């Protein structure tokens, strides 16, 4: 059948891939995850023979995701909207992972599709345009030479594009830059040791085009994150505009940096520009961590000039940073990127760490802290990035956070039955139901934090077992409490992912080299004492 009906067969595989994603099936178990991975491999293999069909199918999936996210923003329930967006993000991630793999060996074909669509849009007279082919830019594998091709192509066609297409290019190129930096960090590091004139030339030309496009505050807010990246691609220009007097062609770059600093300050300009400045400055900090400090780049001076105001904006417990409903996930990601970058820049300047750790800080700050630590542990592939042991001294506070969160989650799961909505409610019943939903929302937030904490234990058990200055029995007691807390999560049927992660964390804690940390003074005795007299298994 496949030989005679290739279109139908390819479409069937794409449909099966789409239907097995979390947005359709709910929380994935081990079987569905394996099946999804198998479908990814099938699509990659099929693309060798029917590349265009596979690309079309995946592009349509991503198009549907964008429509889904737009619909989520109109959902009244904050919790329902947030969960739908999380599923949409998982769907986008799965589809984009396949596109990324396809582009590794088929970049010219994908580039040709993007280039053709850009050309079509330069002569398009319609106000509403389909930009989904342009958005492929953000999902593909790009090394230094491929990024230069994308920049050069954009420079040629940007000015003739309609505004929606220009915004799609701006957003997609920014994501392509991070694909390059994260998958080819050595190439980016080398750029600051041996600047490339052709890369800088294209980046500067595009900076100027985008600068002309940004004629209003709204447009400035849309382009600032890309503009900072384009400047980062021009090390020599960044060096030249750090001087008091600059040549006329570079004046707009200097003014741009001054506008960023002004918008980021406490009494800056509009809220919209302040938020965009925060995004751009986090990207500057993040990019700087991929540059070796021994290269003495001026970019580090730029970071030092904005990082105090940046942390004051993002980590203010009395006025948490928020871009409004529908942006919660993006705000958390921004704070995590800032936290991780600040740690890599200076692991000993940890004021924001203490703010996030404080019990009086908003729950979002705790979530950001724990997920940042997990990222530091699991993503540490550059030699000059500091290791997590720089903050082992806060193990006690993290254990207390785990114990408190674990207790709240276990109590809530045992105390609350599922809510049932009736067709007609009195005002009093509506108010009661509203309070229950708020309570349920808080429970879900606690579960998310607890899951993150358990993943943190799994990633590095030493972080939670570290007990500086404590005696043997004290160490044993804290280890016992930690292990019992995890054991109590294993039988929970309400949250299978939490139960599975708790089992994984327990397995790591029971590795021989980790058992020795249960109580370094008497590890074997402590092991048997905890196993035989404390644990319910």
Q: What is the pLDDT of residues 84-123, one digit of tens each?
A: 755 556 666 767 777 787 788 888 888 988 999 999 999 8
What CA–CA distances, in Å, run from 177 to 160, 220, 230? 23, 20, 9
| DSSP code, position 417 | P
Between CA 75 and CA 88 the distance in angstroms is 14
| 133 — pLDDT class (breaks 50, 70, 90) | confident
In tens, the pLDDT along 143-197 reads 999 999 999 999 999 999 999 999 999 999 999 999 999 999 999 999 998 989 9
What CA–CA distances, in Å, run from 132 to 364, 424, 458? 33, 43, 39
Between CA 508 and CA 504 the distance in angstroms is 6
Predicted confidence at residue 302, as pLDDT, reads 92
Of residues 421 and 271, more confidence is placed in 271
What sign for the dihedral angle of Cα 13, 15, 21, 24? Answer: negative
| 64 — pLDDT class (breaks 50, 70, 90) | low
| 431 — pLDDT class (breaks 50, 70, 90) | very low
| DSSP code, position 487 | H
- The residue behind tokens 């991503």 is 62
Predicted confidence at residue 45, as pLDDT, reads 65
State the pTM of this model: 0.81
Predicted confidence at residue 14, as pLDDT, reads 60
Between CA 504 and CA 234 the distance in angstroms is 45
Of the ranges 67-81, 277-291, 314-328, 352-366, the best mean pLDDT one: 277-291
Between CA 506 and CA 510 the distance in angstroms is 6
Predicted confidence at residue 96, as pLDDT, reads 73
| DSSP code, position 1 | -
In tens, the pLDDT along 266-300 reads 655 688 999 999 999 999 999 999 998 877 788 99
Yes or no: say if 67 and 60 are a contact pair by the CB < 8 Å rule: no
Residue 438 reports pLDDT greater than 60: no
Integer-rounded Cα radius of gyration of the chain: 26
Residue 424 reports pLDDT greater than 50: no
What average pLDDT does the chain have? Answer: 81
Residue 370 reports pLDDT greater than 60: yes
Predicted confidence at residue 22, as pLDDT, reads 53
Predicted confidence at residue 423, as pLDDT, reads 39
Tally of CB atoms within 10 A around 46: 19
Which of 139, 52, 54, 42 lies closest to 93, judged by CA?
Answer: 139
In tens, the pLDDT along 468-515 reads 878 888 898 999 999 999 999 988 866 778 999 999 999 999 999 999
Residue 32 CB partners (closer than 8 Å, separation 6+) = 20, 25
Q: Percentage of the chain with pLDDT > 90?
A: 47
- The residue behind tokens 């006329």 is 248
In tens, the pLDDT along 224-274 reads 999 999 999 999 998 888 887 878 888 999 999 999 999 998 655 688 999
Residue 384, classed as helix, strand or coil, is: coil
Yes or no: say if 335 and 282 are a contact pair by the CB < 8 Å rule: no
Predicted confidence at residue 343, as pLDDT, reads 94
């Amino acid at each position: 059948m496949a030989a005679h009906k290739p279109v139908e067969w390819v479409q069937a595989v794409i449909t099966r891939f789409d239907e097995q994603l979390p947005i359709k099936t709910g929380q994935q178990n081990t079987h569905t995850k394996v099946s999804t991975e198998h479908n990814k491999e099938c699509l990659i293999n099929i693309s060798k023979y029917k590349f265009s069909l596979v690309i079309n199918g995946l592009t349509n999936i991503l198009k549907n995701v964008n429509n889904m996210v737009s619909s989520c923003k109109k959902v009244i329930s904050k919790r329902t909207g947030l969960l739908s967006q999380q599923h949409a993000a998982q769907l986008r991630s799965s589809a984009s992972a396949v596109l990324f793999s396809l582009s590794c060996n088929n970049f010219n074909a994908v580039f040709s599709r993007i280039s053709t669509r850009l050309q079509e849009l330069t002569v398009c007279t319609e106000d509403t345009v389909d930009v989904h082919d342009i958005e492929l830019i953000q999902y593909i594998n790009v090394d230094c030479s491929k990024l230069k091709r994308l920049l050069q192509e954009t420079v040629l066609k940007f000015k003739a594009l309609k505004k929606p297409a220009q915004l799609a290019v701006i957003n997609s190129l920014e994501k392509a830059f991070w694909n390059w930096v994260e998958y080819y960090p050595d190439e980016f590091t080398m750029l600051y040791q041996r600047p490339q004139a052709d890369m800088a030339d294209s980046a500067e030309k595009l900076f100027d085009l985008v600068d002309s496009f940004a004629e209003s505050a709204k447009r400035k807010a849309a382009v600032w994150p890309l503009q900072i990246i384009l400047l980062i691609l021009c090390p020599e220009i960044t060096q030249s505009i750090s001087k008091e007097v600059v040549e006329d062609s570079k004046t707009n770059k200097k003014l741009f940096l001054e506008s960023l600093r002004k918008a980021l300050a406490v009494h800056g300009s509009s809220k919209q520009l302040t938020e965009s400045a925060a995004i751009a400055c986090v990207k500057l900090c993040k990019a700087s961590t991929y540059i070796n400090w021994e290269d003495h780049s001026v970019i580090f001076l730029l970071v030092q000039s904005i990082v105090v105001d940046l942390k004051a904006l993002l980590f203010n417990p009395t006025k948490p940073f928020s871009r409004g409903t529908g942006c919660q996930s993006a705000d958390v990601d921004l704070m995590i990127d800032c936290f991780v970058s600040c740690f890599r820049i200076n692991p000993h300047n940890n004021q924001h760490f203490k703010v996030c750790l404080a019990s009086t800080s908003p729950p979002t700050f705790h979530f950001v802290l724990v997920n940042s630590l997990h990222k530091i542990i699991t993503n540490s592939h550059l030699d000059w990035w500091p290791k997590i042991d720089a903050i082992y001294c806060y193990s006690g506070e993290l254990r207390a956070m785990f114990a408190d969160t674990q207790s709240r989650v276990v109590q809530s799961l045992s105390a609350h039955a599922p809510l049932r909505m009736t067709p007609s409610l009195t005002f009093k019943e509506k108010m009661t139901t509203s309070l229950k939903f708020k309570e349920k929302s808080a429970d879900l937030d606690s579960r998310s934090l607890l899951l993150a904490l358990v993943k943190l234990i799994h990633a590095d058990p030493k972080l939670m077992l570290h007990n500086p200055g404590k005696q043997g029995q004290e160490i044993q007691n804290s280890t016992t409490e930690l292990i019992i807390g995890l054991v109590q999560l294993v039988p929970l049927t309400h949250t299978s992912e939490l139960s599975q992660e708790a089992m994984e964390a327990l397995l790591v804690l029971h590795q021989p080299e980790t058992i020795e940390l249960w109580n370094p003074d008497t590890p074997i005795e402590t092991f048997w004492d905890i196993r035989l007299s404390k644990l319910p298994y």
